[in-house]
Amino acid sequence: MEQPERYRVHHAFIWLGGLRALFVTLWVIVVGAFSGLAALVAEITENPAFARDAGFVFALIVGGIIAVVLVIAALCFLLRWLQWRHLWYQFDPAEFSIYSGVISKKRTHVPYGRVQSVDQKATLIQRVLGLCAVSIDTAGGANNKAIVVPYVTKSQAEALRQQLYVQKAQLAAGAVAPVAAADGAVASGEAAPGAAAAPVMVDAAPVPMAAHPAAPGEGNILDAASDLTAQMSGVFDSPSFAQEAPSYEYGLSNKQLVLTGLFNNTSFVIVAVGLLAVVGQLIQGVADLVPNSDVLFESAVESVVAREGALMAGGILLGVFLVIALVMWALSAVGTMLSFGGFKARRRGDRVEVERGILQHSFQGVAIDRVQSVIISQTLVCRLMGYCEISLGKIDAMGDGSNESNKGKGGVQAGRVVVHPFVKKSQCAEIIAGLIPEFADMPTQATAVAPVAMRRAILRRTLWQGPGFWLIVATALLHVLMHVAAVATQDPDLFDLLTIFDPAATFLYAVGAVCMIANCIGAVMWARESSFAVNRRFMQVSNGGLSRESVSFPRQKIQFGCVRTNPFQRMAKTATLKAVIAAGVGGTTISLVDVTEEDAAHWMEWLEPRR
């Protein structure tokens, strides 16, 4: 039996990884020994003679520390080298295997059929070196981790991905998957840049625009930079291999990129809150200028003076807050723009590939039959402008904790691949038809929520689930308590506190009221716009409101369905639909509250498998 070829990862695994491990260890040691060091420094500053007397000892200590650091460094690199020696992957006939572990050996096998998606990520240093980490997702449920092949050259990663898909396709076609020797001739990690034997090369640079009629006004300022970095293959990388030409491809236009940066991040919320606060302050200032008639004249003058001062201070504070918020917004906008710089989404064969990021480059590839859902979401701002975000739901493995895939940064959300961050609503259908025609056949006959849902939604969203309402209740309780305490104890300090607390409470009431009004409007809009629709193959659930999300998924991908009712719903003859799909980590539930009982029953019938 011929042994399949073993592929090693790049030697940067040893020194780059070793350096990282070294820094971490040193950091831990420094933190651990901090108190001792601090005591020593304090001793020296207090008693300079001590340092002179103990000069020799001191030098010895410093020398000792350096020696220890060197030993630790040597150990780190030795360990990494050992790990590297025992880390390799190979393409077995039926599965992809990765071997690791020095003392306790670990072998991970992934049957080709189970490969969900193959992603590629590179930090800035790795990009400069032309390296990246490949992570292979499997549908392993909640406590399964992605298989990560660290530190491979970009071309090796491409070959790896290609090979995985080739094997999978062969397996699907029922062929006895022989390891395709020609395809498998992967440039090994040590291959010199620009190896002469490389097959037909295709540059990573985008294919001419003419080939993509669906791409409207493509290209943006950051694309040039991204192309540059894509062409600069890095220190260790060899040129890439030929690939099947994509059948559909698009990027972001300048306008889309800037809008994405400005509105597609959470910092915008901070600015909005800041603006709200300023408005509140203004209203309060106006209200304070109208004096209360029942207050004695002198005290009124006094309090007006005091309040004027407080108002000034508050105004300055708010101004500072607003400036900070604006700066944060600008920074995060730039961050988002960088992370979406060089954005390219394309359909290649039977998979969707999304590439983005100027500094940290990421490449996500999902096989079409692994796409769980198509999500079209609109935040309030997007809605007002008529734009939306399109993403694909896919199964995600658990991140490594330190992995950036779990952070909600720059629009990255677990279980979602953003295929367009900011697109006109009218172009949605076009993009979906181009990128994933399999999902283009959407149901059209929507079943709206029950009429009674509006009343229930208003009650639910403004009262018992509304943050504004509870803010008002909590503030009122505190307010009353403070006043009662002040009157009961007759403590002058408490009365002083009240002069500050009263306006603060007014402000909180205002915020709560605004929140409640927003919630109420959201509830009405939700009831008007929410619906579900089914046809033979697909289900679509739209949840409206101030922001709007509509999720479409094939019937095949529904893991199980659930209809839930609470006593109030049973009185109102409504029910909550819950369709659970496997996207994300451990599944995603798509629910729609308050459809009529009959519709729920019909939906359950629809859910029953058909022969």
Q: Is residue 564 part of the contact set for another protein (CB under 8 A)?
A: yes
Taking Cα atoms as reference points, which of 367, 351, 362 lies closest to residue 139? 367
On whether the CB atoms of residues 531 and 491 are closer than 8 A, the answer is: no
On whether the CB atoms of residues 327 and 523 are closer than 8 A, the answer is: no
Q: How far is CA 611 from the centre of its chain?
A: 39
Instruction: Give 438's strand partners.
Output: none
Q: Is residue 588 part of the contact set for another protein (CB under 8 A)?
A: yes
Cβ neighbourhood burial of 304 (10 Å; 0-12, 13-18, 19+):
middle
Tokens of 151: 């530190």
Residue of the chain from 485, 517, 570, 571 that contacts another protein (CB under 8 A): 570
Specify the stretch interacting with another protein by CB under 8 A; choose among 129-137, 320-328, 507-515, 564-572.
Answer: 564-572
On whether the CB atoms of residues 347 and 249 are closer than 8 A, the answer is: yes
Q: Could you write out the DSSP letters of every residue in 461-477?
A: IIIIT-HHHHHHHHHHH
d(C-alpha 182, C-alpha 187), whole Å: 11
Pick 34 or 568: Cβ nearer another protein = 568
What is the size of the binding site for another protein (CB under 8 A)? Answer: 33
Q: Is residue 55 part of the contact set for another protein (CB under 8 A)?
A: no
Smallest gap from residue 178 Cβ to another protein (A) = 22
SS3 category, 280: helix
Smallest gap from residue 141 Cβ to another protein (A) = 6
Specify the stretch interacting with another protein by CB under 8 A; choose among 239-247, 285-293, 498-506, 563-571.
Answer: 563-571
Specify the stretch interacting with another protein by CB under 8 A; choose among 14-22, 400-408, 479-487, 602-610.
Answer: 602-610
Pick 156 or 588: Cβ nearer another protein = 588
Binding mask 128-167 for another protein (x = CB under 8 A): -----------x-x--------------------------
Cβ neighbourhood burial of 167 (10 Å; 0-12, 13-18, 19+):
buried
Smallest gap from residue 584 Cβ to another protein (A) = 9
Instruction: Give 552's strand partners.
Output: 374, 540
Smallest gap from residue 571 Cβ to another protein (A) = 13
Tokens of 511: 């915020």
Q: Is residue 563 part of the contact set for another protein (CB under 8 A)?
A: yes
Specify the stretch interacting with another protein by CB under 8 A; choose among 374-382, 397-405, 430-438, 578-586.
Answer: 578-586
On whether the CB atoms of residues 490 and 516 are closer than 8 A, the answer is: no
CA angle 61, 66, 69 (to 5 degrees): 125
Smallest gap from residue 594 Cβ to another protein (A) = 14
Q: Is residue 111 part of the contact set for another protein (CB under 8 A)?
A: no
Residues between 348 and 407 that touch another protein (CB under 8 A): 369-370, 395
Residue of the chain from 497, 504, 562, 591 that contacts another protein (CB under 8 A): 562
Q: Is residue 465 part of the contact set for another protein (CB under 8 A)?
A: no
Smallest gap from residue 551 Cβ to another protein (A) = 14
Cβ contacts of 202 within 8 Å, gap of 6 or more: 240, 241, 242, 243
Smallest gap from residue 353 Cβ to another protein (A) = 20
Q: Which residue matches tokens 């340092």?
A: 51
Q: Is residue 266 part of the contact set for another protein (CB under 8 A)?
A: no
Residue of the chain from 582, 592, 593, 595 that contacts another protein (CB under 8 A): 582
d(C-alpha 423, C-alpha 381), whole Å: 13
Residue of the chain from 23, 27, 34, 560 that contacts another protein (CB under 8 A): 560
d(C-alpha 350, C-alpha 548), whole Å: 30
Smallest gap from residue 606 Cβ to another protein (A) = 10
Cβ contacts of 519 within 8 Å, gap of 6 or more: 461, 462, 466, 467, 468, 469
Q: Is residue 105 part of the contact set for another protein (CB under 8 A)?
A: no
For residue 201, the tally of other CB atoms under 10 A from its CB is 13
Binding site for another protein (CB under 8 A): 113, 116, 139, 141, 369-370, 395, 556, 558-567, 570, 580-582, 586-588, 597, 601, 604-605, 607-609, 611
